[in-house]
Structure 1
Amino acid sequence: MVIARKTRICFYTVLILSIVLCFQLSIFSASGDSDIKLVPYPAVVEKGTGFLTLTKNCSIVLKNKELSSLGQVLSNEIKTITGLQPAVKFGTPSAGDIELALDSSLTAEKYTYKVSDRVVIKGGSYKGTAYGTVTMLQSLNKAALRKVTITDGPDPSSPYRGLMLDLARQPHTQEQVKQIICLCRLYKIPFLQVHLNDNESFTFQVQGVSGLEGKKNYNGVKMWSKNEWKRLVQYADQRGVTLVPEFDTPGHGAYLIRTRPDLFKVGKGYYNTQNIANPACADAIMKCISEIMDVFKSSPYFHMGGDEADFSGLEYGNTKSNASPEARKHWDTYMDNLTSTMRKQGLISSTERITDPRDVHKDLINKINKLVKSKGKKLIVWEGVHPVPNDGVQKVTVAKDVIFMPFDNHIRADEYLNNGYSLINASWTPLYVVSQHIKGPAAEIDKIYSWNKMEFDKFPGFVTPETKYTAPESSVNNILGAQLCSWENKGDFELPSLRHRLPAVSERLWNRSSEILVEDFKARINMTDKLVEKMFSAGNLPIPSVLPAK
C-alpha cells in the first residue's frame, strides 16, 4: 500500500515536471532562441506551430485613425521586402490580414505581436505599435511569418535610446538622413539627434537673425529650409522615430562668428567661442533656438551643445585677455549684473561677487532651460561644465532638471549623479564613431556588446583602468539611456558605419540585464542585416554585409 502510494506520487511528480518543462520550452525570454532572429531580442516569446503566409489579398486593418501613417509606412515596407502591397483600411480584419491597434492597458513603449490566422499588433502608443511592426518586418521570411505570441518593451530604466548625426561638418543629402531614420526604426531606436551647427556650417535657416537666413555652404554642406526640415521631422514621426535638434552654443561657433562677428565675436584668439555676454548675441541665440523648436515640435528634448568653449582670460576685470575692448565690457557688465541679481535672490552674500566666466556660461544654460521648458521640452547639455560650485570661485548652480550627456570623462559622471542630475551616456569608448578613429565593425560590436549604460570612459588613446567610471546600480534610473554618436562622417559613410553598431547599442539598452551571448547576437544580426540590404539596396556597401558568427 505504501509502495503503491509512493509510486503514484512519483508518477504525478514526473508528470507535473514534464508539463512545466514543456511549458518552459515553448516560452523564451531574453535568454535567446535559435529560431527567433530578432534584434533587440523580445522580453517574452511564446512559440506556436506552423506559419502564416501573406497573400495578395492581405490588408492592413487599422483600429485607430492615429495609426493611419504607420499603416501606409508598413504597407510600403512589405512591398519592398515581399513584392506584395497590402491595402490599408479601417474595419474588421479577416484571416490573413494585419491588424494594428492602440491598447491603453500597455505602457507607451510596450507592444504585443501575435501571429495566428492573422497578425495582430497592439501598442501602448504610436511608437509602441511601430515597434510591433518592426518585429513583424524582422520576422518575414519571404512572405511567411512564424506563428508566435510576443509581449515586449524596452528596459523601463532606459527611455532614451539614441543616435546622433553630425550634419554640420560633412555633406549629407536628405535621402541619406532618411536612410538613417529607417535604420533607427528597424532597430527600435526612438531618438535621432541632429547636430545642426558647428565651426564649419549651420544647416538650418533662421529667419529672425540677419545673415543666418541664407544658403551659405562649407565643404558642400547645405543649409536646409524650414520646410525641408519639417518634411524630415514628419518622415521620422511617421516611422516612430523622433528627431532631436541640437544648436551648439557657446562653443563650436566659428561659423556664426564668421557670419555675424558683430554679434558673436569675442576677439582675436577666440576662434569658436561665442560672445554670450553680449546681450545682442544672447538674444540671437534665443531666436535661433526658438525657431528650431518651432520646427521640431514632436521632440520632447532640445540639445544646446554647451561643450568645449574657451573662457580663458575672460575673468572679471582681466585686461590682458585677447577679448576686444567692447567684448571685455560685455563680460564685466554681465558679471556685475549677475552679481547684483544673485545677491538680491540671496544666492550669494553681499561680499561675494561673480568673477568666473564659467558662471556666465551656466547662467546661459539656465536661461535656455527656461525657454526650452516653456515649449514643453527638456534641455540636454554635453558634459562641459561643473554643475554646482566646486572650487570656491564659481557661484552659479545649473538647474537640476537639466540633463547632461557625458562623453569623455573630463567631468566624471559621478559629479553629476552625486549632485542629483540625470544623464544620458554618450561615452566616447565605445559609443563614438569618428571617421579618423574607426576600426572594423566586428571589433566595435564586441566592444559595444561588452559595455552597459552604467560605464563611462574616455577617448580610446587615453583609456586606462583608472579612466573608466562605473556608476552604482542605485543610479540606474538617473542614467536615462545612451546615445551612439557619429561625428565628422560624410553622408555616404553613415549607413556602412552604423548598420552593425546601432543594433548592438539597441540590444544593450533594450535588454540591459540579458545574458545573451555575443555569438547569439551576431547570428541574429546576420539575419536582420539582410533586411537592411533589402530596405536600402545596400549590397554594395564597403563593409561585409554579413558578419561571421563565431
Structure 2
Amino acid sequence: MEKANLLPVPREFKYNNKDRTGYSYEAEISCNVEEWESSINAFYQYVERSCGLKLKNGNKGIRILREKELDEDAYRIECNNTVNIYASSKEGLNYALSTVLQLIQTKDDKILFPDITVYDKPDSSYRALLVDLARQWHPYEYLYKYVDLCYLYKINRLQFHFTDDQSYTLPSDTYPFLPTENRHYTKEQIRDLVEYANDRGVVLVPEVEVPGHCAQFNMKYPEIFGNNGIICAEEKTFQALEKLFGEVCEMFPYSPYIHMGGDEAAITNWRNCPGCRQYMNDRGLKFIDDLYTDFVARVTDIIFKHGRTPVVWEGFSKKGNDKISKDVIVIAWESYYQNPKDLVEAGFTVVNASWKPLYIVAPSTSWLPEEILAWSKYKWQHWWEKSMAYPDGIDVGKVDNVIGGMVCAWGDVLAGYDSGDKAAKEEFEFIRARIPALAVKTWDEDSDMDSKDFYESYEKLDALLERILVNANN
C-alpha cells in the first residue's frame, strides 16, 4: 500500500497521480440520507475546529452516497470532480469521515484533498478504551475529549468505569444517596454526552462494578447491599440491582452493552453474611466459588432482560463457565482467574485487555506505543508471576470469538492527587499516545507498521487532535 499519514491505515489506499498532488474543491458537502444528518453535523464541527473552515450545503465539494452493497462497517472514497464517500450505514460513514478529517487541508476558503481511492473496513468489531472515572474525579469536559480521541482513530467503544470504592459517579433517582456528593455527573450531563458520542459513532459502555469494589453501596445502603466489603447475594439485593441496572439502561439508550464489573471481589466475606449463607442453601450451592458464579449469572440475566448484552471482567473460575451464558462478552485482562484459552474454548466472546501492553496506571505504569504495535489481540502477556501469562505469554491462535482489544486507564495512583483536573490532564497525555497504536492493531490485525512510520503519522495527527480539543468551545 502507498504511504499516507493515516492511523489506522486503510485496507486499500492509492494515489491516483504520481506526484500525489490533490485538488481544490468548494467547501461544500451534500448527502441525501436523512438519518445520517447528525454524523455530518459532527463532521462540520470537527472541520471547523481543526482548520477554521465552515462547510456549506452543496454538491461541489464532498458528496456522501449510500451504497447498500457495502458491509455496515465498510466505506469507499473516490475522487474525481468531487470527493465521493460511499457507505451503507452510519457506522461506515463515520469511519469514512474520520479518514477524510485526517487528510483534509484548506486554502483560500476551499478544501484541499488528495486524489485518492480508498476501500476500508476493520478486522475487529470491538476497539475500545476504558477510563476510570471513579477513583479520581474527572471534570466533565474530559469525557468529551475521550469521545473526540476515539472518533479520530476509529475507536468504537468507550467504557466508563463509573463506580468503585472511592465514588459512585452516576446519578440515581432509584437510590438517591448512592451518588457521591460533589463527585457525580448529572442526568442532563449524561444525556448530552450520550447524544454527542452517538452522533460520532462512539458507543458508550457504562460500567457499574458489582459485587466487589463496592464501598459506596455498603456505606449508603447497607440494609440492601450489605456491609461486608462485598455486595451481598440475597434476593432483595438482586431485586435492587434489577432496578439499578434498569436505570443505567435508560441513561444509555444507544448502548447495546452494559458492563457489570465482576472482578477482584472479596468473595470469602460472604461467609460472614447470614443472608448469603441462606441463599446458598436455598440454591443448593456448596462452595463460595459457586455463589460467585451464580451472582454473575444472575446479574447478567438482569442485563439480558433489559435487552442489552452483558460485559464482565475475567473474574470467575473455569468451573463456572458452563453456568454463564455464552452470549456474555468477557474482558480477559489478567490471566489469573482463568486462562483465556479456556474462555475461548468454552465459547465466550472475548475482548483482549492484556495487562501488558494495554494497561495504563498513570503516571507509574504504562507500556510504550511500539509495544502495542508488537502485540496481537490473540496474545496475553503479564509482568506478574502469578499470572498464567507470565513470563512467556498466552497465544490462543486466530479464532473468531476474540473480537478486539481494549486499552484500560486506571486511576489507582491518580486517586492520590489533590486536583482532579491535574490528574485527568496527566492521564490524557498517556492515553492519547497509546490509543493510535491500539487502533492500528485492531483495525488491521496483520499490520506490520514499524515505530518510525507510526510516530511520523502520530505527530501529524496528534497536532490535528490538539486543534480539535483547543477549539472545542469556540
In the superposition, the TM-score normalised over structure 1's length comes to 0.78
Question: Against the structure 1 CA distance between its residues 337 and 482, is the aligned structure 2 distance closer, same or farther, given a 3 Å change threshold?
Answer: same
Separation in 1 of the partners of 2:163 and 2:77? Answer: 41
Percent sequence identity over aligned pairs = 27
Name the structure 1 match of 2:202.
Answer: 241
- Kept in 1, the 8 Å contact 2:356–2:383? The answer is yes
- Report the Cα offset of residue 468 of structure 1: 4.1
Aligned with 2:251 (options 276, 280, 295): 295
The corresponding residue for 2:419 is none
Superposed CA offset, 1:151-177 (max 9, x none): 00101xx21010001111111122111
Checking the alignment, whether the CA contact within 8 Å between 2:270 and 2:288 is kept in structure 1 is yes
Q: Paired residue for 2:400, among 473, 477, 496? A: 477
- The residue aligned with 1:336 is 281
TM-score, structure 2 normalization:
0.90
- Determine whether 1:494 maps to 2:417: no
Q: Which amino acid aligns with 2:81?
A: D
Which residue of structure 1 aligns with residue 382 of structure 2?
Answer: 458
Match of 1:119?
Answer: 83
Report 1:105-116 matches (<5 A): 105-116=69-80
The 5 A counterparts of 1:386-535 are 386-389=317-320, 397-410=323-336, 411-439=338-366, 444-459=368-383, 466-474=390-398, 476-488=399-411, 489=414, 490-535=423-468
User: Which one has more relative contact order, counting CA pairs under 8 Å at least 6 apart?
Assistant: 2
Could you say which structure has the larger radius of gyration? 1
List per-residue Cα deviations over 1:65-119 (Å, max 9, x = no partner).
111111111112111222220124xxxx533x21223322111110111222211
Displacement of 1:120 in angstroms is 1.4
Task: Output the CA distance in 1 between the equivalents of 2:173 and 2:50.
Answer: 42
Distance (whole Å) between structure 2 residues aligned to residue 437 and residue 529 of structure 1: 23
Q: Distance in 2 between matches of 1:436 and 1:242?
A: 27
What does the per-residue CA deviation read over 1:325-378, in whole Å, with 9 as the maximum and x for residues that have no partner? xx32x1221112212xxxxxxxxxxxxxx2212222222222222222233321
- After the TM superposition, which parts of structure 1 deviate over 4 Å for at least 4 consecutive aligned residues? 459-466
SS of alignment partner, residue 437 of structure 1: coil
CA contact (8 A) 2:344 2:401 kept: yes
**2:420 is matched with which residue?**
none
Computed over aligned residues only, the root mean square deviation of the Cα atoms, in angstroms, reads 2.1
Give, in whole Å, the separation in 1 of the partners of 2:149 and 2:176.
Answer: 36
Q: C-alpha separation between the residues in 2 aligned to 1:182 and 1:215? A: 27
Write out aligned runs for 1:277-316 (5 A). 277-312=233-268, 314=270
Is this contact kept in 2: 1:70–1:130, CA < 8 A? yes
Match of 2:39 in 1: 70
Task: Tell whether the 8 Å contact from 2:203 to 2:255 is kept in structure 1 after alignment.
Answer: yes
Structure 1's unaligned 5+ residue stretches are 1-27, 316-322, 340-353, 391-395, 539-550
Residues 166 and 215, structure 2, Cα contact 8 Å, conserved in 1: yes
Does residue 179 of the first structure (1) align with residue 112 of the second (2)? no
Aligned residue number for residue 368 of structure 1: 299
The match for 1:42 is 10
SS in 2 for 1:99: strand
Paired letter, 2:235: P
Change in Cα spacing, 1:256 to 1:451, as seen in structure 2 (3 Å) is same
| Residues 425-463 of structure 1 deviation map (CA, whole Å, 9 limit, x = unaligned) | 111111111024235xxx611111111101112256878
Quick one: distance in 1 between partners of 2:129 and 2:343? 22
Letter in 1 for 2:44: S
- Flag the 1:462–1:279 CA change in 2: closer, same or farther, 3 A: closer
